């Protein structure tokens, strides 16, 4: 299909991964039309259909989305269309190995700038689901790093800051999958911004057809 046909059939391109490290470095895009997401590539390499469905299945597994009985497609449940977390989910589903899984225990990650360990716990408060960030370990001013993480969730998760230690998603519902996806990005905003800029430039240079490389 040509570019305009892809857009007409699948909708707008939500995210683009310029090189799939797990399948011949092809470019893969995520499109959305209404509440249906489509994983798509212009590549005609042997096995590409299986690869696109594998990415789709990984998005379902990691992000709490719903698979539908059609190649490359998945459905966004009510409340799960939050654009930035979906973009990060897609990127991880492409770039991580097929066997990658999230831990099912407490949501935590080591700080890449200190010796702290971040912990995030969710709790229902009235009609809102709130996430509280805490730390373990030694640091002179751990609250500074907690505030930085909260800022990362506001930036990359479209979240709402409750105070210097807590946040919620804009629909005020529980989204543990998105919290697990976003925590590695939220803890280091400056590095992620550099990564995003480099990725966007690479995609733009590949071709003039949405940056796709076959």
* Residue 21 sits in the same domain as residue 62: yes
CA distance 129 to 127: 7
Phi, psi (degrees; rounded to nearest 5) at 157: -110, 0
* Residue 7 sits in the same domain as residue 35: yes
pLDDT of residue 202: 56
pLDDT of residue 208: 43
* Residue 111 sits in the same domain as residue 98: no
167, part of any domain: yes
Q: Which of 154, 113, 105, 157 is nearest to 135 (CA)?
A: 113
126, part of any domain: yes
pLDDT of residue 182: 94
Tens-binned pLDDT, residue by residue, of the chain (214 aa): 778 888 899 999 999 999 999 999 999 999 999 889 999 999 999 999 999 999 999 999 999 899 899 999 999 988 889 999 999 999 999 999 888 988 888 999 998 888 899 999 999 998 899 999 999 998 888 898 999 999 999 999 999 999 999 999 999 999 999 999 999 899 887 656 566 665 555 555 444 445 565 5
* Residue 159 sits in the same domain as residue 178: yes
* Residue 197 sits in the same domain as residue 185: no
The sheet with strand 36-40 has its strands ordered as 12-17, 28-33, 36-40, 73-75, 66-67
* Residue 89 sits in the same domain as residue 136: no
* Residue 92 sits in the same domain as residue 111: no
Parent domain of 185: 107-191
* Residue 39 sits in the same domain as residue 87: yes
Kind and range of the H or E run holding 180: helix 176-186
65 near 37, Cβ under 8 Å? yes
- Domains of the chain: total: 2
């Amino acid at each position: 299909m040509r570019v305009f046909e892809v857009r007409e059939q699948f909708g707008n391109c939500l995210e683009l991964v310029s090189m799939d490290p797990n399948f011949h470095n092809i470019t893969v895009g995520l499109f959305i039309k209404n509440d249906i997401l489509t994983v798509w590539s212009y590549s005609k390499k042997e096995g590409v259909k299986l690869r696109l469905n594998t990415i789709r299945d990984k998005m379902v597994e990691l992000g709490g989305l719903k698979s539908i009985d059609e190649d490359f497609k998945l459905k966004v449940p009510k409340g799960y269309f939050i654009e930035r977390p979906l973009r990060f989910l897609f990127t991880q589903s492409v770039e991580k190995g097929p066997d990658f899984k999230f831990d099912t225990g407490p949501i935590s990650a080591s700080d890449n700038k200190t010796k702290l360990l971040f912990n995030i716990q969710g709790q229902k408060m009235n009609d809102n689901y709130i996430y509280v960030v805490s730390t373990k370990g030694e640091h002179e001013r751990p609250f500074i790093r907690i505030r930085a993480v909260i800022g990362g969730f506001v930036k990359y998760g479209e979240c709402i800051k409750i105070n210097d230690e807590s946040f919620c998603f804009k629909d005020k519902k529980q989204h543990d999958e998105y919290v697990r996806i976003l925590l590695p990005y939220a803890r280091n905003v400056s590095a992620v911004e550099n990564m995003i800029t480099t990725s966007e430039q690479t995609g733009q240079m590949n071709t003039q057809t949405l940056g796709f490389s076959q």
